[in-house]
Amino acid sequence: MSKKLNIGLFGFGVVGQGLYDITVSRHLNLEFKKIAIKDPSKKRTLPQELFTTDKWEILNNPEINTIIELINDAEAAYEIVTYALKNGKNVVSANKKMIANHLEELVAIQHEYGTSLLYEGAVCGSIPIIRNLEEYYDNELLYAVSGIFNGSSNYILSKVFNENQTYDAALKKAQDLGFAETDPLLDVGGYDSKYKVTIAAAHAYGLFVNPDDILNIGIQNLQTSDLQYAREKGQKIKLVPVAKKQNDNEVSIYVLPKLVKKEDFLFNVENEYNGVSVQAAFADQQFFFGKGAGGHPTGAAVFSDISALRYDYRYEYKKTLIEEKVTFNNEEILQVYLRFNQEDLVEKLPFIDIEERYSSREYHYVIGSIKLSDIIEAKDLILSDGAFIADTGNLVAPTHITIEALLQSENI
């Protein structure tokens, strides 16, 4: 039998309102006791007595047994979540930055205090990828988890690529619709996607990684010439985070714009939709598709976590319990497209080989192979002078990884 949840909600923005809309349409054994907000003068649809600006009115209320955290401030979210977990309250959060930066610590707190933190809404909106990695793929051998994890950047690319809108116009529209963060660089710079793939990697591989160690290059430097190159190849450009096994016990993680072929599932993922591809040893390739931004899609994921807490559900982090742990590195070799203005940029980058060169009065590009760690070293140089796009065909499992080797390395 399910238990009653007395909820304290932090944040009543787009997602908070979406969650409330979903909740009141259902007749479940739960009740919103208090909602913490920043601006008490703002007109709201609910009775004024339901709101508070004092976080302690929620955190120290003995009646409240469940905290829902839906605020933008990662540090404030961390204080709320850790205090709640340490004081016997279960938590649902959608704050990907806070979770990615503190995940290993948050897992330890849950184990120590016997509380549960769920965060399906933090990764890819309405797509239940965390629960699937936890449950369906708990004993599966995964080669790669990748996809479109950010609805805002995908919306912008869709409008620019398919409708010839300007980048600025598409970005403003995304912000007006509530898809984009207040600081657009979080979305278009690949930071949002990086936090999400960091979380996904923990459930896919049992790997806790500092997001600062993960490469992210976004779409903010793309120009018409880059879009034209993709069109000539019959491809599209998508911002794609990747967590990928390189050999038996090493995983690389990065976020880059990627050239996507027509046969790729991601080719037809447009606007604010997300798509997650899981490449597995036994299940082969599987694809998850759904809305990754907006109040109701993200609210639906949060609501799913709330429902699960009624039955005392918690993540088990099964991949972290495997005896032979995987490690994170940046040694993968990628085939890339580099568009640049200054002739000497290519000479400054340690390309392993260059397959194609193009030069014109307006711009230049090369297609070549380069190590991921070398891209990281040259990131600032690249962003100051051009655009960087991962070429197609680099997400297939390396041929030297065998199922037998993975079985042995993971002791399954």
Residue ranges of domains in the chain: 5-118, 150-289+324-390
Whole-number Å distance between alpha carbons of 117 and 290: 23
Q: Give residue 251's pLDDT.
A: 96
Fold that domain 150-289+324-390 belongs to in CATH: Dihydrodipicolinate Reductase; domain 2 (3.30.360)
Q: What is the pLDDT of residue 392?
A: 53
Residue by residue, pLDDT tens for the chain (412 residues) are: 578 999 999 999 889 999 998 988 777 889 999 999 999 888 888 999 999 999 999 999 999 999 999 999 999 999 999 999 999 999 999 999 999 999 999 999 999 999 999 999 999 988 999 999 999 998 888 999 999 999 999 999 999 999 999 988 998 888 888 777 778 899 999 999 999 999 999 999 999 999 999 999 999 999 989 999 999 999 999 999 999 998 878 999 999 999 999 999 999 999 999 999 999 988 899 999 999 877 888 999 999 999 999 999 999 999 998 877 899 999 999 999 999 988 888 988 999 999 999 999 888 999 999 999 999 999 998 888 888 889 754 433 333 333 344 344 444 3
Give the per-residue SS3 of the chain. CCCCEEEEEECCCHHHHHHHHHHHCCCCCEEEEEEECCCCCCCCCCCHHHEECCCHHHHCCCCCCEEEECCCCHHHHHHHHHHHHHCCCEEEECCHHHHHHHHHHHHHHHHHHCCCEECHHHCCCCCCHHHHHHHCCCCCCEEEEEEECCHHHHHHHHHHHHHCCCHHHHHHHHHHCCCCCCCCHHHHCCHHHHHHHHHHHHHHHCCCCCHHHCEECCCCCCCHHHHHHHHHCCCEEEEEEEEEEEECCEEEEEEEEEEECCCCHHHHCCCCEEEEEEEECCCEEEEEEEECCCHHHHHHHHHHHHHHHCCCCCCCCHHHHCCCCCEECCCCEEEEEEEECCCCHHHHCCCCEEEEEEECCCCEEEEEEEEHHHHHHCHHHHHHHEEEEECCCCCCCCCCCCHHHHHHHHCC
Catalytic residue among 196, 238, 258, 319: 196
Q: Can you give the pLDDT at residue 26?
A: 78
Q: Which two tokens stand for residue 39?
A: 């601006």
CA distances, 364 to each of 227, 339, 355, 382 (Å): 14, 6, 14, 13
What pLDDT, on the 0 to 100 scale, is given for residue 289?
96
CATH number of 5-118: 3.40.50.720
Q: Is 42 considered catalytic here?
A: no
Query: Tokens for 334?
Result: 């990628």
pLDDT score for 1 = 58
Q: How far is CA 130 from CA 14, 120, 203, 357, in A?
A: 22, 6, 7, 41
Q: What is the pLDDT of residue 398?
A: 36
Whole-angstrom Cα distance, residue 412 to residue 408?
7
pLDDT of residue 343: 80
